[in-house]
Structure formats: C-alpha cells, structure tokens
Amino acid sequence: MVFGSWLCLLAPLAGFLAILLLGTRITRRQAGALSTFAVFAGFAGAVIAFVDAWGRDAHDRVEVTTAWTWLQAGDFQAGLTLLVDPLSLVMMLVVTGIGGLIVLYSNGYMAGSDEERRYFAYMSFFVFAMLMLVMGGNLLLLLVGWGLVGLASYLLIGFDHHRPAAVAAAKKAFVVNTIGDAAMALALFLAIAKIGSLDYGTVFSAAEDGVLSDTVVTLLALGLLAGAVAKSAQIPLHTWLPDAMEGPTPVSALIHAATMVTAGVYLICRTHPIFEAAPDIQHLAALLGLATLLVAGLVALVQWDIKRVIAYSTMSQIGYMFLGAGIGAYGFAMFHLVTHAFFKALLFLAAGLVIHHLDGEQDIRKMGGLRRFMPYTHATFLVGSLALVGIPIFAGFWSKDAILASALAYGGSLGWVLYVGGLIGTLLTGLYTFRLYFRVFHGEPAGKAREAAAHHGEGARSMLVPVGVLAVGSTVVGLLAIPGVWEPFETWLEPAVEPLVHPSTGEEWLTSLVAVVLGVLGILLARRAFTAGRELVPDGAVRDTLEHKLWFDELYDAVVSRPAQLVALLLRDRVEAPVVHGGLDEVAEGTLRGAAITGSAQTGLLRTYALAFTVAVAVLTLVFLVTR
Amino acid sequence: MLTTALIVVPFAGAILVWVLPLSRESTSGLALLVALAEVGLWLGSARNFDFGSEVPQYATTQQWFDELGISYAVGLYGFQFWLVGLTIVVGACVVGYASWAERERPRAYFGLLLFLVGSLVGVFAAQDLIVFYVFFEAMLIPIYVLVGVWGGPQRVKATVTFVIYTMVGSLLMLASIIVLGISQGTFSLAEMGTSTNDWVFLGFLAAFAVKAPLLPFHGWLRIAYTEAPPEVSAILSGLVSKAAVFGLVWIVLPHFPEPVEDFRTLVLVLAAATLAYGSVLAFRQPDIRGVLAYSSMGQMGLIVLGIFAVNDLGLDGAVLHSVNHGLVSAGFFLLAGMIEARAGTGVFSELGGMAKGRPYLATLVMILGMFTLAVPGSTNFAAEFAILAGVFDRGWGYAAIGVLAMVLAALYALRLISAILHERRGSAVREDAGDLVGGELILLVPLVAILAVLTAWPAGITERSFPADEPAAFIGSQEGIGTP
C-alpha cells in the first residue's frame, strides 16, 4: 500500500516538474503524452494500493506513513504524512482514473492551441495537488492540498490569459476559495490552541471524547464547513463556479465537475467526528446543500451556455452530496461523488466534442439537430443525461436515490424537508437536463451547427475513447450499490466512515420509485416545451430573477467588493497620501530650506543633523536615566 | 573566528574595489568574486554549525573598553545564522544585478554595496550592543549614498525622508543603549540582565518600528523603495528591514520581559494594523514597486506579530518568514528592475500582456507572485501559518486579521501578476521586448531554488533557529544571565 500510494502521489508531480524543466526541449505533443503517462502511472499506483488493501482484513486497511517533519515549532509538529484508507483510496482512484481519461482527451482537444505545454504542466500539477488533499494525513496537509487545488484551478481557468473574462473569472474563483481557506485556517489555529496537534487521530479523539467545549467544537466544524462550502460552490459561496466555465472544457470536466469541487464532500466525510460532535453545523451543511440543489436547479433552467447549464447541474448534484453528508449518510454521499464524477465528466467531455465541432460555439440557441451529424456524441451525451436524471440502470439512479432514502430514514422535520426538497430537485434535474439535450441534439440546426454540418468526424480518437469509457462507466458503476442485493461500496467504506443512518431496503426502493417518476415527468415536460417551441420558464419577473442568478453577484458587488475598494481608495488618497507624506514633505522641505540658509546645502544638512543628534541623545539619555 | 571573517571579507572587498583602479568589467568581476567567496564561506560554516548549542557558534569576544563593559563580541545562534545567510545570498544576487545593470562610477557603487553587506552581517552577528549600534549606523551610510546618488528623479527627497526617519530612530536607540549599558555595567548581550525601564524599551521599540516599518512610522517606505535603484530596494526591503527582527528578538524580548508584557497589546495592535494597512494599500497601488513596498510593510507587520506572540510557534514562524520574505521581496524587486528595464516603467496602466512569448519572465513573475501571496504548501505559507497559530494564543482577533490579510494578499498578488503578464499588451511593452536572458535568470533562479527547498522542508529552519527548538524558553532563559 505504501509503495502504491507514493507512486500515486509523486507520478503526477514528476510529470509536472518534467514538463516545467524540459520546457521547449519537448514538443507540445510530447508534453501531452508525458502528462497522460504521469497521471495514468498515478492511477496504477492507486490500483496497486487498492488491490493490496482489498486483500487485507476490513479493519487493517489503513496505512499512515511519514516522509519527514514538515513544520515544527516547540511542541507542535506536523509531518509530511500520508493517510491511505478506504476513503482516500476511493478518491485516489477517481482522481487519477477520471483524471487520466480527461488528460488523454485533452491531447486531442488542446491540439494546436498556444502554450499546450503550460496546459499539461498545470493539469499534472492539479492532479498532484488533489491527491495531496485526499491523501494528506493531517489537517495541515489537507489545507495545503486545499489551497493548491485552488491555485491549479486559478491557473487553468485563466489559461487563455489574453481574454479579460477568463482572467477575471480566475481571480474571482481564487479569491472566493481563499476566503474558504482563511476560515479553515482559523479553525486549524483553534485546533492547535486547544488540542496542540493537527493529526487526524488526535483531533478526532479530542472531539469524540468531549474534552472540548461545545463552542470550540462548533467553531471548528464551522470553519471546516466554510472551507467546504467555498470549494464545493455551495450557497452562499457559489458564485465563482459558473464563471469558472471560462476555462478550457476538459478543465471544467476534471476540476469543476469530477474532482476538486467535490472536495467539500470528502472533507465532511473525512472529518466526520468533528461534525458529529457539532450536529447543528452538520445539519447546516445538509440545509445549505438542499438550498443549493434547488437554486442551482432553477437557475439551470434559463441558461443559454451549454457549459453553464452543466455547471449549475454540478452545483446542484454536489448539493445532494452535502445533503447526504449532512445527515451522516457518508457512504452514499461518497458514492454519489463517484458516480457523479463519471457522468458529469462524460457530459462535459461530450459537450466539449460539440463545442470543438462548432469551433468554440457554446450558445445552445445556435445549436440543434446535432444528433444527425454527431451520432456518437449524441449517444454518449444521452447516457450522461439519463445517469444525471437518475433513470434506472444508469449510475445516478443508484446513488442519488440512496441519499434521498437516507433523508427519509433520518426522519424528523429535518429529514422530511430534505426528502421533499430533494425530490423536487429530481424534477428540476429532468427539466434542465433534457431542455439542454433537446436544444442541442434535436430540432433543426441553427447558426454554426448548420455550417458545421459539412464537417466530418466528431473528434480525434484520443477524445472519443475517453468519452466512450466514461459512458460505459456511467452505465455500470452504479451497480456497486444495489439496495439489499449487492452493496460492496458501502461495505468497503464502512470501516473508515461509519454512517449515521441506514435506510431500509423498502425505503430505498420506494424512494427510487417516486424519484424516477418525477425524473421522467421532468423529461416529458421538457420534451413538450421543446416540441411546442416554448421555454420552460416564461418571460417575466421569475425568469428575470433566475437569469440574474438570484442577484448574488450584484449583492456581493454592492456589499463586499465596492466598499472594500472604496476603503482602500480612501486609505490611499485620504490617509496615506496627505497625513503621512504631506506632513513629512513639509518637514523635509523645511530641513532643506534650513540647510540652505546656513550656507552650502550639503554641509549645512550634515551639521544640523550632527548638532541635533548630539543634543537629542544627551537629552534623551538624561530623561531615561531620571525616569528610571 | 569564522563570524569575524564573514564580516571582514565584504569590508575588505569594499576597500579593494574602491582603491584598485580597475576597469568597469574587472571591478564588477572582483565584487562578484568577493560576494561569491562570502557565500562559500557561509556554506562552509554550515558544515560544523551546532544548531542545538546553548552558546553562540564561531564566536569571538575581545575586550574593547574594559571599564565600560564594551567588547567586540560576535557569534551566531541558529536564527542569526539564517539571517546572515539570507544577507549573503541576497547580497551576491544584488552585486550580480548591479554588474548587469551597468551603474555609473562602478568602483564607488560596488564598494558601497559590499560595505552594506558587511555591515548587515555585522548587525546580525552582534553579541554586544555597541557592536550592534556601530554596524547598524554603518549600514545606513551606504544606503543614503546609494539612494541619493544613484536613485530615481526624486532621489534627494527620498534620501532626506529616509535620513530623517532613521536618524530619529537611531538617536532614540543610542540613548537607550547608553542608558541600558551603563545601568547594567555591561554592553554584552549575553552578560546583560533585564531592565524594567519602559522608556528605554520604548526607545528601542521606536527604532525598530521605523526600520521594519510599523504603522505609523512608515512614511519613508514608499518613496525610498520607489526611488532607489532596484537592487538597493531589494536590500532595503529584503535585508535592512530584518535588522528590526534581529533587534526585537535578540535585544528587546530577552532584556525587557516586563515592558514586553505591559506593552504587548499595543505592539500587537500596531503590528496587526500594519499588516492590514499595508495589504489594503498594496491592493490599490498603481505600479509594481508600490505593490511590493506596501506588501513588504504588511509582511513585516506579520513578522512582528509572530515575535510579540513570544511563543514557540510565533518566534519560529517569524524567523522562517524573515528568510522567506527576504528572498521573495529581494527577488521581486530585482525582477521589477528587469521589467522596468524592458518597458521603461513599472506603472500598471502601461504594462500587460508580457506573458506571451516570454516564458521565463512569465514563469518567474508567477512563481514569485505565488510566494508573495503565500500559496498553501509554500514556505511562506508555513511561516504565516506558524505565526498566526502562535498569535492566536494571544487573541483570536490578531489571527483573524492575519487571515483577512491572506485574502488581501491573494488580491494584490493576483492583480500584480495579471497587470504585468495578462490581457492586452500595454503601451509601454514593445512587441520585441525580450524574455529574461541567462544573466538575469542566474540571479533569480538560486533565490527560487532556495524557496523551493524551504517549501519542501520549512522545518529545516524552524527546527534550527533556537537551541533545543524551544525559542520561548531560550529567550526567557536569557534574562539575567549575568546578574548575581
């Protein structure tokens, strides 16, 4: 396990460094191959570790290795420690597996773009950072990985740095994420102050043993939750994710769908003892997840950009994961994370095929009828859509319904609110997903789609193969958790994260029935609206509000950005400039004038100082001695 | 003896450069040789350095004025070893930059630079107050001349401003030193006991608050950092400000335990305000050096927060961050000079789009920018984390301001990066303005390489700054060593 884990972590890092150091000595194509190889080597490492762990006894699947002490001061120390257990193994497999496919796809997608080498260096770096996040054996390394993925995200969103929109989106993402990092950092300071350590084991046992006061535990959980909410684009720190679609499409697939944005879910599962000790905060996570899944689902109904629709869908699906993690259904939340990684990466990559085919067109009003010209893309996109809506046997069906069933089993008013809200979300999912599907693939081609009809082929093989693999995955991976029949995924995770709720088989199948009916209803409504040539949300105040994404951006601009800039300007012009410099200018000019009067400016200056200096020292010495 | 050698070599080099009637090339070559010899000497001293020792390493003590208790006493503890190393490495890069930049009157210029490096080493190696003071003042003279003669259009005003501030600080410190030394009967830092005199404490504090600088003693900062030649700005922000760190850690904390206790809140508030104020202003500066200047100010506030936390995390973090900040800000000022050399300006509205076709420049701006904003995992992050975790113990508000400053740092560093590299090509950026050349890379790459090593292993410094890695206990144990 140890060897595999280090291989998994270090291979992408080696790829990054190699591309960085080799520079222009390798061709763009070679850089892509190197990056792909590095990430798949990481996947091989993850598989080695997984197979090793699989062969062991269920409670012996944990390895902790420390390379060296990273930071030490007095009694505090934090090592460069890896923790490999069933939970991190799942994440390692997803990150390197899906990551490898997406990097492979990038070889075709990015071909011919400027600065491909930089792109592949960043992608390798991202995979390394994400692995650091999920494999780090203490909260400090978690925070490090947390920040580094934010950095990679910043670099990749702003990859086309000559486009102002991309640069602005990159900065926005980085800043919002840094706010989350800052909250997490505060929680970590608190942990150091109260517990003296950031090692998972020490912190968790302190939380479980009740040696910490309620306030401390609540603040700890709150800080971690703030980080999770920012990274996973949940309300109220969600505004950066739609803008992040300015990045290249494979980046959206990898970072802003499959892996990084789901890190918040991983965080809650990893640090669940802290959240369980602060149940109010854990419930808050569930409620934020519910709010996000509904809001994002509604906003997705009115978007015109193919990637933004999928981005809102991502927010919405992560909302389900938060909902699950918030009621202690860790296994199902993680399972939805895995299935979502497959079908959302699939949707993005298929959308990438469309965009690539249409020379960069992303507006779905200028698409349509692509089914005829892009049959392969159409089939795979349809698979992804069905998995997203949760139609049996596709992956989303198994995972999303399990989360909802857990809400039902959780019971109480909270459980019911989450249950009903989540079911409404299923209807919304059907609506926005199939609005998109019909708009893109059915009807008559418009705009660019018509011009592109003459093009042949749907993309390079390096792009089509990953899409195919993901389509197969989106179909079968759900079968790892069939309620009451075969549930290896939950069994695998249980030793690492014991769930708080266990829905009965009956509850699961009942929920599935209702959810499927709602999902199909959504699809049918979307189809009816499409054939009638109507939009799902008619023009008016509601649509207006949704198109403005509930005015969050405007609100933050008015409440945070503008006042902050105003304060900075005021400080610069009204405080710093006149008070400090103005006052000093007079002193300086006075001195120069005085010096000029005494004769030659140079010697006068020196003499004045020498005299003043001696007198002042003498006076001060006296004063100090007397007051002593 | 080795410590003395580290001090003497640059001074000797300075005199040689002054005296020998060499050509421009030979002069810069000789200066570079001296600077590199100094680096070699320092690396050699690392081999047998005992970081755990309770006594200073490579120490020399020579009675000077016996009856006054003044001696020439120098020697290195771990944290001094790192500050000296920082000085020597950055000093070598600066000499390299100056030889590349072809300053007028090279003999005087290189002589002054080496003189400055020697004085800084002396400051950081001092074990006696008078030795400290002599080197502290000696360090200021070359700065006055370097800024006043070789500076930008407003160099005279910059120099006068700087002189006024530092003179006021210096005279307060001199008075404090005299009073402290006379009342203790010795000027030796090791033999000196503790003092409860608030005024003497405040005299030292004022001097170091100007040097750091802390709010509201920073009036000299902007104009000095902007008008000085870039390599002198690099020394000012990277090295000279660390004299304040040394003074606070090694003079103020051990010898004024009670005043430190009494005035801790005041200093912490000032430091936090400096951090916030510097970071906010950095966000709104119109040019590269303005951002760097106020960012430096903020970072010094952060370091002082760590020092006045007076605990293990804070002190270790402060030492580590002194090294980090020295390397990053010196590197960035040199880089700013290289950019200004290409564009003729550092003003953002005329810059932009430099990434395209200039991969080395882009990579270095990006890397140094990431260190400036203390990207998680970097050595700057490790230091900031330790400092804020340390000061959290003294009040969560300081740590909260600290993390807020981290967000601000992200804002201003990203703005800086974008303004130089991204979007449309600025009016001052000619299409054929070249990428960094080998001679420039060789100055910056070593700095980045050291930062990379520290990023992998910040504990390399934090474990090796104070005996037994117990800074608070060690500083505390310095109280009254010599008192009966």
The pLDDT profile of chain B, 484 residues, written as one tens digit per residue, is 789 999 999 999 999 999 988 888 889 999 999 999 999 999 999 988 998 888 889 988 888 887 788 889 999 999 999 999 999 999 999 999 998 888 888 899 999 999 999 999 999 999 999 999 999 999 988 999 999 889 888 888 888 888 888 888 888 899 999 999 888 888 988 888 888 888 899 999 999 999 989 988 888 888 889 899 999 999 999 999 999 999 999 999 999 999 999 999 999 999 999 999 999 889 888 899 999 999 999 999 999 999 999 999 999 999 999 999 999 999 999 999 999 999 888 889 888 888 888 888 988 999 999 999 898 889 999 999 999 999 998 999 999 999 989 888 988 998 899 889 887 788 888 888 888 888 899 999 999 999 999 999 999 999 999 987 888 888 877 654 333 3
Nearest CA in chain B to A72: B459
**Are A181 and B406 in contact (CB < 8 Å)?**
yes
Q: What is the pLDDT of residue A624?
A: 64
Å from B317 to nearest chain A CA?
8
Identify the band that residue A589 occupies on the pLDDT scale cut at 50, 70 and 90. low
Give mean pLDDT, residues A606-614. 62
**Are A587 and B389 in contact (CB < 8 Å)?**
no
Identify the band that residue A448 occupies on the pLDDT scale cut at 50, 70 and 90. low
Q: What counts of helices (H) and strands (E) characterise chain A?
A: 28, 2
CA–CA dist A594, A608 (Å, integer): 9
Which of B 387-446 lie inside 8 A of A, CB atoms? 388-390, 392-393, 396, 399-400, 403-404, 406-407, 410-411, 414-415, 418, 421-424
Identify the band that residue A75 occupies on the pLDDT scale cut at 50, 70 and 90. confident
Question: Which contiguous run of DSSP H or E holds residue B417?
Answer: helix B396-421
Q: What is the pLDDT of residue A41?
A: 95
Which residue do the tokens 């190889």 mark? A37
Q: Among partner residues A147, A161, A580, which is closest to B376 by beta-carbon distance?
A: A147
Which range, of A142-156, A440-454, B114-128, B189-203, averages the lowest pLDDT? A440-454
Alpha helix segments (H runs only) across B102-154: 106-125, 129-150
Whether A241 shows a pLDDT value over 70: the answer reads: yes
Whether A427 shows a pLDDT value over 50: the answer reads: yes
Mutate to test the interface with A, among B145, B287, B423 (most CBs of A within 10 A): B423
Whether A598 shows a pLDDT value over 50: the answer reads: no
Which range, of A149-153, A481-485, B34-38, averages the lowest pLDDT? A481-485
Identify the band that residue A372 occupies on the pLDDT scale cut at 50, 70 and 90. confident
Q: What is the pLDDT of residue A483?
A: 75
- Phi-psi bin for B423: left (phi > 0), alpha (psi -120 to 50), beta? left
CA–CA dist B183, B221 (Å, integer): 35
Residues of A whose CB is below 8 A from B476 = none
Residues of B whose CB is below 8 A from A627 = 197, 199
Whether A485 shows a pLDDT value over 80: the answer reads: no
| Cα→Cα distances A251→A438, B24, B241, B349, Å | 25, 52, 42, 31
Alpha helix segments (H runs only) across B71-105: 78-101
Answer with the residue of higher pLDDT: A112 or A31. Answer: A31
The string of pLDDT tens digits covering residues A405-419 is: 999 999 889 999 999
CA–CA dist A177, A243 (Å, integer): 13
Give this complex's ipTM.
Answer: 0.90
Answer with the residue of higher pLDDT: B333 or A27. Answer: B333
Q: What percent of chain A has pLDDT over 90?
A: 48
Identify the band that residue A612 occupies on the pLDDT scale cut at 50, 70 and 90. low
Q: What is the pLDDT of residue B7?
A: 94
Q: What is the pLDDT of residue A590?
A: 61
**Are A584 and B164 in contact (CB < 8 Å)?**
yes
Q: Among partner residues B222, B312, B411, which is closest to A74 by beta-carbon distance?
A: B312
The string of pLDDT tens digits covering residues A209-236 is: 888 888 999 999 999 999 999 999 998 8
Q: What is the DSSP string of A327-361?
A: TT-HHHHHHHHHHHHHHHHHHHHHHHHHHHHTTT-
Contact yes or no for A259/A98 (Cβ under 8 A): yes
Q: What is the pLDDT of residue B484?
A: 30
Nearest CA in chain B to A162: B423
Q: What counts of helices (H) and strands (E) characterise chain B?
A: 20, 2
CA–CA dist A125, A351 (Å, integer): 24
The string of pLDDT tens digits covering residues A313-332 is: 999 999 999 999 999 999 99
Instruction: Establish if B65 touches chain A: CB-CB under 8 angstroms.
Output: no
Identify the band that residue A586 occupies on the pLDDT scale cut at 50, 70 and 90. low
Instruction: Establish if B372 touches chain A: CB-CB under 8 angstroms.
Output: no
Nearest CA in chain A to B459: A71
* Entry pTM: 0.90
